[in-house]
Structure 1
């Protein structure tokens, strides 16, 4: 038990002390269907869309994460939008993922809330740890199959924060 606590503390300290590292292999990631342009992300102010959009609020998993997120449709394309109150900690290899779970925290285990391959789609590297952001969801992704958005540290398989998507 003492060893588990020591190992958990070491992992938390390691994650907390890391700085963002750009990932050059997102185009080779089989979980990233958007291989034509892995950096197709723009910072923007969220825009009004139709009432069928899904939204949620980020909650802490491994590290404090907050803000609102929503899936919107504009000109036939789906996007993930973070509002200006979005904030999370810095970390290595952070990405935005869509996850199949409705409650990622209940279906994974602390302290890292690791996710399993096949349960998520890697949308894009996280461009900023705070503020409004907009990420295009590739057209071949069936959005209705996914029920949450997460900020995930790919390098350590650690979920920083998650938001369940409701109507």
Structure 2
């Protein structure tokens, strides 16, 4: 990509993790304007389900559907990545990520089911083309979904 990335922390992620805003998964979003969506593809571990990015009164929300499922692992994060096909631009079996090509959104709350994550205001969503589940400890991509803009 030729555009510059936003100046938000990408790596390393501080330990302990700072508090992040994670929307209540039992609460229906007030506004359901869909910005983009995609289907997860397995990377190093089995991952499935659909991710949707919605605008909730000006706040972008990443939402995993009820069919979302990934393997358990240590130090798992929801990230946004600059590449549309993360698995094609990395090497198996771990599909390790390169510093500066992603931004960590929040620790993964659960390995299955509906989950919502609010995006920080500093994130410019247009700079990212996929959502992934990533293990920080081993720099391993569990699964990824290319996000297609909604028309």
Shorter-normalised TM range: 0.7 to 0.9
- Give the 3-state SS of the residue equivalent to 2:137 in structure 1: coil
Question: TM-score, normalised to structure 2's length?
Answer: 0.83
For 2:81, the equivalent position in structure 1 comes to 99
Deviations 1:104-158 (A, max 9, x none): 0100000000001111110000000000000000011000100000000000000
Could you tell me which of 118, 133, 136 is aligned with 1:136?
Answer: 118
1:86 shift after superposition: 0.2
Cα gap change, 1:65 to 1:46, in 2 (>3 Å): farther
Could you tell me which of 7, 14, 17 is aligned with 1:26?
Answer: 17
Structure 2's unaligned 5+ residue stretches are 1-13
Question: TM-score, normalised to structure 1's length?
Answer: 0.76
Cα gap change, 1:44 to 1:108, in 2 (>3 Å): farther
Q: Which has the larger radius of gyration?
A: 1
Equivalents in 2 of 1:142, 1:64: separation in Å? Answer: 29
More helix by share: 1
Equivalents in 2 of 1:118, 1:104: separation in Å? Answer: 13
Aligned length: 135
Equivalents in 2 of 1:63, 1:136: separation in Å? Answer: 25
Structure 1's unaligned 5+ residue stretches are 1-22, 28-36
Give the alignment of 1:64-83 within 5 angstroms.
Answer: 64-83=46-65
1:26 shift after superposition: 2.0
